[in-house]
Amino acid sequence: MYPLIRNRRLRSSEAVRNMVRETIISPSDFLVPLFVVEGKGIKEEIASMPNYYRLSLDNLTKEVKELWKMGLHSVLLFVKVPDNLKDNSGSEALNENGLMQMAIKTVKNTCPDMLVMTDVALDPYSSYGHDGIVSNGQILNDESVEVLAEMSISHAKAGADFVAPSDMMDGRILSIREALEDEGYINTGIMAYSAKYASAFYGPFRDALDSAPVDIKNVPKDKSTYQMDFANRFEAIRETQMDIEEGADIVMVKPGLCYLDIVREIKNEVDVPVAVYQVSGEYAMVKAAAEKGWLNHDAVVMEQLTAIKRAGANVIASYFAKDVIRIMG
């Protein structure tokens, strides 16, 4: 009780604040998302994601070397697929010499110890921009899961350490785990996007990959029949528990900042590592406000990422990973 307790004593100098700080972010917390495109010598800035780029394989090599040197030792790969290779069932996703498979090999050849995780979902490959197969205005579940399991095998074969299913179909973790076991990829992990909400914060990402749902008749215009309703909390726990039972090694909550209540709740509930994805729209908001001079970029980045870790994140996927290293000096 005051005056016996004066909380300001523990805030009175930089040294004491540093000593009692509860949450410290470090390079090993981060998973760096990378966008890969076909071609050579390509490094295109994404319009809605300033200072973030689509890279061709040669530039991917350079980027990965730089990340490794900075102490960033995990990447999460996404590919931008040319329109002419897209179809309803995402068949290009299974091409052994497809862009994702080549990207995995490129990273592993450049930096064998880099942890490689791969996005598993149909949307970048889908002519309709959905994470599963579309039929009569519906996204088919079990048929899509079959493709996702094959896709996972193909990534494992190319050298992925973890597959990261981001599609939110039911039962996909079990099917993927069984497929990996059957094919002998017993050490390939699964990072499940377990509580992935139908969020407007994915907009810039869909620009980056040109993967937004298309606006045509008999194709659902959004992802709300598979991604979660952002009003829900219990459902996030159920989804996460099911993914763990089905064999997920790491579970994820996505997006980040608006969902930190869910992150803490899941952290308290489960005993596997919890990942949080600070998504493209969260990145874009900070960049835009900083560009206008309305927010201090570096200070806001550190505050948000520390908050994500404080909420319970063991792994943070963030487009700010390199900024964090720079800021921490």
Q: Which of residues 138-167 bind ligand PBG (CB under 6 A)?
A: 166-167
Token digits of residue 179? 């497929």
8 Å CB contact between 169 and 141:
yes
* Nearest CA among 17, 49, 22, 19 for reference residue 34: 49
H helices of 94-162, where? 99-110, 142-158
Is 292 among the catalytic positions? no
Instruction: Indicate the residue among 183 and 289 with the shorter CB distance to ligand PBG.
Output: 289
Residue 239 is labelled as binding a ligand: yes
Select the residue whose beta carbon is closest to ligand PBG and give its number: 205
**How far is Cα 48 from Cα 285, in angstroms, rounded to an integer?**
9
> CB 128 → ligand PBG: shortest distance, Å?
12
Give me the catalytic one of 80, 196, 223, 267: 196
Q: Check binding of 59 to ligand PBG (CB under 6 A).
A: no
8 Å CB contact between 97 and 158:
no
Q: Check binding of 123 to ligand PBG (CB under 6 A).
A: yes
**Other residues' Cβ atoms within 10 Å of the Cβ of residue 18:** 9
Q: Of residues 103, 104, 121, 190, which one binds ligand PBG by CB under 6 A?
A: 121
Is 108 among the catalytic positions? no
3-state SS class at 151: helix
Instruction: Give the largest CA-CA distance in the chain.
Output: 72
Site map for ligand PBG, 280-299, x if CB under 6 A?
A: x-------------------
Q: Check binding of 279 to ligand PBG (CB under 6 A).
A: yes
Instruction: Indicate the residue among 196 and 267 with the shorter CB distance to ligand PBG.
Output: 196
**Other residues' Cβ atoms within 10 Å of the Cβ of residue 137:** 10
Instruction: Indicate the residue among 215 and 271 with the shorter CB distance to ligand PBG.
Output: 215
Bond into 3 cis (ω within 30): yes
Q: Check binding of 126 to ligand PBG (CB under 6 A).
A: no
Site map for ligand PBG, 217-246, x if CB under 6 A?
A: ------x-----------------------
8 Å CB contact between 134 and 122:
no
Instruction: Indicate the residue among 53 and 183 with the shorter CB distance to ligand PBG.
Output: 53
Site map for ligand PBG, 176-215, x if CB under 6 A?
A: --------------------------x--xx---------
> CB 79 → ligand PBG: shortest distance, Å?
11
Instruction: Indicate the residue among 157 and 206 with the shorter CB distance to ligand PBG.
Output: 206
Instruction: Indicate the residue among 119 and 246 with the shorter CB distance to ligand PBG.
Output: 119
Give me the catalytic one of 80, 86, 254, 322: 254
Q: Check binding of 119 to ligand PBG (CB under 6 A).
A: yes
**How far is Cα 180 from Cα 281, in angstroms, rounded to an integer?**
33
Which letter does DSSP use for residue 208 in this model?
H
Supply φ then ψ for residue 118, to 5 degrees: -130, 140
Given CA atoms 312, 318, 324, 325 in this order, what sign does their dihedral have? positive
**How far is Cα 70 from Cα 212, in angstroms, rounded to an integer?**
33
Token digits of residue 212? 């937004």
Which letter does DSSP use for residue 27 in this model?
G
> CB 274 → ligand PBG: shortest distance, Å?
17
Return the active site residues: 196, 254
Which positions lie near ligand PBG, rule CB under 6 A? 119, 121, 123, 131, 166-167, 202, 205-206, 223, 279-280
Annotated binding-site members for Mg(2+): 239
